[in-house]
Structure 1
Amino acid sequence: MSLKDLIDTPEEVLARWPREPLRFHRDPADFHHLLTLGEVDELVDDACLAMRNVVLLKDSEVWEKYTYADGDMPRRGAVREHLDDGGSISLRALEQLKPSIARIHRDLVAETGYRTHVNAYLTPAGAQGLKYHYDPYVTLIVQIAGRKTWPVHRPFVENPVQEYGSFHLVGFTPEQMHYLANTPPVEEFTLEPGDVLWLPRGWPHSPYTVGDEPSLHLTVAFKERTYHWLAEQICEDLLGRALVDPQMREELAPDVVTGDLRPVVKQMSQYLIGSLIQMMDDGTVAEYARKAALRIG
């Protein structure tokens, strides 16, 4: 299973990564092998979820009021209590728990070269787990059960990544919060079983369930490789090569370190530029980066 089993026109998506939200549709039965509402209920009620694999959400906050049984597992019944109180749960890293999701995870990594994880979100009827926020990566929302509405706004931050500009690190400014509270969303999607929403990184969204049934969806997160990431791979390979050069392991005298470093900085820049040109010519850095991109884990 790969991207073609989740969305239409996968070739176009792989060739030109969409920057606008898109909705696709499949037969709901196509996703039953990945996860069902009944399976999630069993995981919850049979106490099969370790705390590292479940996050309790309510009113856009992570809840920590539930006690632990042994430091790893939640108190028996606590997760169900949270759901009954109108809270949501997020099941994390399902690619580490369920073989069918592990297989599609491997295929998607091989197909895109992106770091990928798969979570699930269960929200009771009439409830909302997370209010307006945005993610620093593409999310592919696969609706499994129930209905959920996704109001979305255009990004405030251009090309956010986890390390810079992520909502989870900086939050919204007062002006942005006022805008979200008083401006209609540019688009609104109500997803039903079988619907798939492509949500590019940076788009603020505030999903909530509609109807009388709980909502269950999968979130497939694609953490895109960027030009900054490629620069990191080049520098990592370059520094690794430099370490085996005895000249590069030679000490800098204290007078050099505490004095005018410009001459040795110039010398070092010339060394690195020469090494970089050699790396570009033999193509090994490209292969190094490709293997790094396809590495799972």
Structure 2
Amino acid sequence: MQNSPTEYLKPRIVNVEVINPVRARVTLEPMERGFGFTLGNALRRVLLSSIPGYAITEVKIDGVVHEYSTLDGVQEDVVDILLNLKGVALKLHNKSETILTLNKTVEGPVTAADFETNHDAEIINPNHLIAHLTKGGKLNLEVKVEMGRGYQPVPARRKSNQEDKTLGFIMVDASFSPINKVSYFVESARVEQRTDLDKLIMDVETNGVIDAEQAIRDAARILMGQLSVFANLESALTEVEVKQAPQVDPVLLRPVDDLELTVRSANCLKAENIYYIGDLIQRSENELLKAPNL
């Protein structure tokens, strides 16, 4: 129980319910009132945007110049093939990018299992459909798989990878996030006589590249890393240099009357708006000679 206003309850009961291989429901309780929504929303946003994953970013298909082409012997056009390739879930080991090839000449469906993988790449959903071949059809393609974070459309990636673009490859929008869906619920929890506590339930579904429980742990670590900066906040006041006004020679502030000029000369200077010695020294000799009656 809470002993002082500066102490906060921490979740003591953590239950992980595995619904299927790619979906799990995690329950944490008890939490102080309001913390369920605060942490649930923060975890959900991090899960959807910041968990790294892998995606096909470029595709090269034999006989295809652009994405609006068609292939003989293939039921789908190139646009449909590219859309289907985006749904392939992959995982790389010890690499941040690689090239995979697919060569199919047998009539029937073409699936992700037809990719020629090596020990560095793993296909998570081998039954994912890519295309259908009719009699005599063939499909030969290469794909570039990269590691990334979030969603990166082609225009944004084209600007940053202009020099690295491989000839013949078609760039595709890349969704690197391994998280398909996240939802959270907050219910009431009770500890002894306190009934105003929260219970947080996180429901996470992935594409199989990462399990839901590990995804929540990774999201929590990301949040902790970002918030640690605020926890270790130190005053970093820098001394502001005060600019001192330049020192002025007091002689320049003396009136021209102190120069013991004739009355006519003094009046002439004042007619030219010269009242102090500082005003006088700012005028050139030619300007003074042009002054009337001087």
TM-score bracket, normalised by the shorter chain, equals under 0.3
Greater fraction strand: 2
Question: What is the TM-score with the length of structure 1 in the denominator?
Answer: 0.21
In proportion to residue count, which structure has more helix?
1
Pick the structure with greater CA Rg: 2
